[in-house]
Amino acid sequence: MLAPNLKTAIDRLAHLIENSNAVLPFTGAGISTECGIPDFRSPGGIWARMQPIPFDAFMASQEMRNEAWRRRFAMADEFKGARPGRGHLALASLYQAGKAPAVITQNIDNLHQESGIAPGDVVELHGNTTYAVCLGCSARYELPWVRQKFETGGGRAPDCDCGGHIKTATVSFGQAMPEDAMARAETLTLGCDLLLAIGSSLVVWPAAGFPMLAKRNGARLAIINREATEFDDMADLVIHDDIGTVLAPFVTGRA
Ligand code: NAD
């Protein structure tokens, strides 16, 4: 049984969605915590355990590249069973019903694609950690290949044949944002009439600018997060509760 306040909030969210033509979900790490992937900033999150490796450090040192890959493979072992959660399935339902044209995400875990959203309609602002690229020639590498080289090389991160460094296809702090994804996200934001900011602390820029841009452009803004964010004051609806619980009623059929 849902608490009456939560039920009212979910009804308001349903009403906002029903009365919108283009719903744009904007998601952060919070949508994947129920799938067993920790976020960055919650207690016990990834940052409580280790600081991220900035891009310039990755580029400057073999040691840091080794460490980045060591962490990635430790993560792979920990999170390999992660499946889309109720939040992902609810957004896939909206997408398949033609309500949401795409999803903008800060996440790198591929779970929106796995929930049934076409890869071309998942706009990844921070890339994807389920494959790797050469930073020199942009060749794509699959993780099992990198891991095999890493392990047979005694824990040394491999380089590409072109001499470039191989890195997960993610955007690290200090690394340039992907221009195509940023441009697509802007177009989608300007075309939506309801932006749903879900499970993002909204402190990582420039990604956090999209909810604000939508609001300034006349769209409504709903925020679902278990903690307050700096954008709560400008939102039309704020639900401080668990994402899976809030979005479960929006899962329809086999999303
Ligand atoms: P964040 O860690 O800064 O914020 C996550 C927010 O979600 C927090 O405010 C937290 O209170 C909230 N939250 C967590 N679980 C929730 C739940 N079950 N219900 C409701 N709210 C919940 O994450 P961010 O804003 O996405 O920014 C951090 C960056 O970290 C992102 O850019 C992303 O690239 C990266 N990241 C990605 C993943 C992933 O792909 N799953 C995981 C960790 C970090």
* Position in ligand 1 atom list of the atom nearest CA 241: 20
254-to-74, 168, 250 alpha-carbon distances in Å = 32, 31, 12
**Cβ–ligand 1 contact at 227 (below 6 Å):** yes
pLDDT digits (tens, 9 = 90+) for 2-25: 889 999 999 999 999 999 999 999
Instruction: Render 135-163 in DSSP notation, one character per residue.
Output: TTT--EE-HHHHHHHHHHTTSPPPB-TTS
Q: Quick check: 110 pLDDT over 50?
A: yes
Q: Quick check: 45 pLDDT over 80?
A: no
Q: Is 165 a catalytic residue?
A: no
How far apart (Å, rounded) are the C-alpha atoms in residues 99 and 95? 6
**Cβ–ligand 1 contact at 143 (below 6 Å):** no
Instruction: Please state the rounded mean pLDDT for residues 61-74.
Output: 95
| Residue among 10, 37, 40, 110 to mutate when testing ligand 1 (max atoms within 8 A of CB) | 40
Q: Quick check: 167 pLDDT over 60?
A: yes
What was the pLDDT predicted at 46? Answer: 64
pTM recorded for the entire structure: 0.94
Q: Which residues contact 179 (CB under 8 A, 6 or more apart)?
A: none
Q: Which residues on adjacent β-strands are paired with residue 25?
A: 196
**Which is more confident, 195 or 80?**
195
Q: Quick check: 202 pLDDT over 70?
A: yes
What was the pLDDT predicted at 255? Answer: 46
